[in-house]
Every structure is written in structure tokens, then in C-alpha cells.
Amino acid sequence: MTIIPFTRMLAGPIDFTPGIFDIKFDNYKKENQVNTTLAHQLALYVVIYSPLQMAADLPENYEGHPAFQFIRDVGVDWDTSIVLNGEIGDFITITRKERNSDRWFLGSITDENERSIEISLDFLDERKSYAAIVYSDAEDSHWDKNPTAYKIENKLVNNSGKLTLILAPGGGAAISFIPVTK
């Protein structure tokens, strides 16, 4: 997954279907799985530019799942896209501002190596505060051993702040930045 943004997306948007929550396929094909964490799957909605998005898993895998809120919230067309960091095949972090909106979204993914990535929030609009809803890997997340472990945190941020993202092996982080009205 960490190669696609640097290769296939060079010509523009692509058809791609992220959002798998039943990562192990235990009820269907025990020998197959998606080689990412759930947080990585959420981050792909931002990392991969595909203006025709969908929820790719079975509806019963989303029912009552708190992480599904990110899929409900994430934009599908962007006014601004900024690559914050990355190395081909290793990791990438992209932030995008939703078209005709003040909402920003961030997606960060890694390969099979755990990473700690510090992100400057200087891309956010000045003089605005944002509710950052962070969907990230849990401390025990791992693409193979525990791919569905995740956590959701809420933070108040602005463009002078920084966030540290801890990405599990095969992991990721997805963040919604919603402007706070005063």
C-alpha cells in the first residue's frame, strides 16, 4: 500500500476500495487476510485519492462499529492536498482539505515497520481551532497478530501545534479536523 501513492496515483485519481474491517476473513478464507491494521484501512480514504468512495466491507462488519464514523465523515473531493512526508514503499502522510468546506483530513500509513512520526499542524487555517478526532493503532496493534485493535482520541488543536503518530507494523492513523465554532 505504501507504493501506490508514489506510482499509480501519479496521473491523478484512481479506483481503489479501502475500508475493510473484517481483516482476517476467518469466517470465509482463514488462509487469507488484508495485510494492514484497521487504522491503516481508515487512513487509505485520505492517502488514496478516489473521488468515488464506498464502504468495501459487508454491512454487518460496520454495524455499531465506532470507527465507521470516520468513513461517514471523510470527504471525497479535495480543494487542497499536501504530502507531509513519505518514502516510497515505507510510509506516507497526506493531509487534504475538503472542497467547499473548512474540514481537513489526514491519513498516515506505514509498511511492516512500526514508526513514530511527528506531524506539524501548520497546514490548518490560522486563527481557527479544530476538534481533531484521531483514529489510530492501539498499543498492541499489528497487521498480522492484532489488526483490528484501534483507539479513538479527541483533541483540541490549532495550526501552531504538533501531533505524534505511533504507527504499528502495517498500521496507520486517520484524523478528522473539524473547525470549532466560537
Q: What is the pLDDT of residues 101-141, one digit of tens each?
A: 999 999 999 999 999 999 999 999 999 999 999 999 999 99
What is the C-alpha to C-alpha distance for residues 47 and 143, in angstroms, rounded to an integer? 18
Helix (H) or strand (E) holding 147: none
Q: What does DSSP say about strands 91-98 and 130-137: parallel, antiparallel, or unpaired?
A: unpaired
Provide the pLDDT for residue 12: 72
What is the C-alpha to C-alpha distance for residues 135 and 150, in angstroms, rounded to an integer? 7
Collapsing DSSP to helix, strand or coil, 152 comes out as strand
**57 contacts 77 by C-beta, under 8 angstroms:** no
What is the C-alpha to C-alpha distance for residues 95 and 143, in angstroms, rounded to an integer? 23
Given a cut of 80, whether residue 85 has pLDDT beyond it is yes
pTM of the model: 0.91
Looking only at Cα atoms, what is the longest distance across the chain?
52
Start-to-end C-alpha separation, the chain: 39
Domains in the chain (CATH in brackets) are 4-179 (3.20.20.70)
Give the cell for residue 169.
Answer: 507494523
Provide the pLDDT for residue 62: 82
Residues near 33 by beta carbon (within 8 Å), at least 6 away in sequence: 23, 24, 25, 144, 147
How confident is residue 68, by pLDDT bands cut at 50, 70 and 90? very high
pLDDT tens digits for range 8-66: 776 677 777 787 888 887 677 777 778 899 999 999 999 998 877 778 888 888 899 99
Residues in the chain: 182
Provide the pLDDT for residue 182: 61
